[in-house]
Amino acid sequence: MESAGGSSVLRNRRLESCFNASSLSNVGESSKVKRREAGIPKQKTDVFVDDNSWIAIVISCIKIVICFVTMMFTTFVWALIMLVLLPWPYARIRQGNVYGHVTGRLLMWILGNPIKIEGAEFSKTRAIYISNHASPLDVFLVMWLTPTGTVGIAKKEIVWYPLFGQLYVLANHLRIDRSNPSSAIESMKQAARAIVENNLSLIIFPEGTRSKNGRLLPFKKVFVHMALQSRLPIVPMVLTGTHLAWRKNSLHVKPAPLTVKFLPPIRTEDWITDKIDDYIKMVHDIYVKHLPEAQRPLVSEEEDSVRDQTGN
């Protein structure tokens, strides 16, 4: 009798555990349904093995060396092409883009990070392309993915960067003189005229420098000034994961997944000079919305940015 009673208790416990598991499963499923009905996107976890072993570091260093050699080779080849095309400035711009497409793609293939590209249909229009900047990988991705007929804009001192700086000049990309405000304004006017007259697109890093921790920095005014003078639409390129893949002052490139998201063009035909700060905030807020939490600016940083813009 005791044995029968014991087995009855065990059966009851098993049935209870089955009902509990079933109810938990139903709760989980119902919560998923509720999340879908509420329009809340499913959370993604971009997990990668953060291997800091000496073998991983050595492999990473080898990849970086291969990237450097590859870039030096392609830079040398295209420098010769640019010299031949010296009398044809626009042809040099197009060849500079071909160089970027080939070199950028090769370097990303060598490094081996998984890459997801979203909104590629927005990358085929003539526009001012802007991108957040937190890693050397951003430069490779921009070189690869911006359309033919796109010029970069950089400080005039880039000419002193070994080999790459000279190719930048040969490719007829734009440079601005930041030595004083009047020189900078005149340089931007000349750059805008060159873009309009030659039917070019433009690529700019609106933060003006590279973020040290991956968090979005305040935007400078250059891209808005260029939009006001060219009336080209602005296409944001939102890069995520690059700060995890290649951190500042590190030779260890990690296999973090990367995402490049092209957002729909922002029209600028009706923009006016009096609202420059409003346009900067609007575009900055778009980036904050589309970046993951780890790449959004901290609240204190946003407050400092607002103070800088308002002068309070």
Delimit the domains of the chain by residue range: 57-310
For 145-163, the pLDDT digits (tens) are 999 999 988 877 888 887 7
**pLDDT given at position 188:** 81
Residue whose entry in the numeric block shows the structure tokens 């260093």: 61
The string of DSSP letters for 151-207 reads EEEEEGGGGGSTTHHHHHHHTT-EEE--SSHHHHHHHHHHHHHHHHHTT-EEEE-TT
Structure tokens at 288: 């904050």
- Band of residue 183 on the pLDDT scale cut at 50, 70, 90: confident
**pLDDT given at position 47:** 61
Q: Name the nearest CA neighbour of 258 among 113, 106, 64.
A: 113
Q: Are strands 258-262 and 115-118 parallel, antiparallel or unpaired?
A: parallel
* Close Cβ partners of 273 (under 8 Å, ≥ 6 residues apart): 228
Question: What is the sign of the dihedral through the CA atoms of 94, 238, 222 and 226?
Answer: positive
Distance CA 136, CA 139 (A): 6
Q: Which residue has the higher pLDDT, 33 or 68?
A: 68
pLDDT value at 255 more than 50: yes
**pLDDT given at position 300:** 58
Lowest mean pLDDT across 23-27, 192-196, 285-289: 23-27
Average pLDDT, the chain: 82
**pLDDT given at position 308:** 54
Distance CA 100, CA 17 (A): 61
pLDDT value at 289 more than 80: yes
**pLDDT given at position 160:** 82
For 86-115, the pLDDT digits (tens) are 999 889 999 999 999 999 999 999 999 999
Mean pLDDT value of segment 254-279: 96
**pLDDT given at position 28:** 43
Q: Which CATH class is domain 57-310?
A: alpha beta
Question: What is the sign of the dihedral through the CA atoms of 218, 220, 226 and 231?
Answer: positive
Helix axes 181-197 and 222-230, enclosed angle (nearest 10): 40
Mean pLDDT value of segment 275-303: 89
**pLDDT given at position 11:** 43
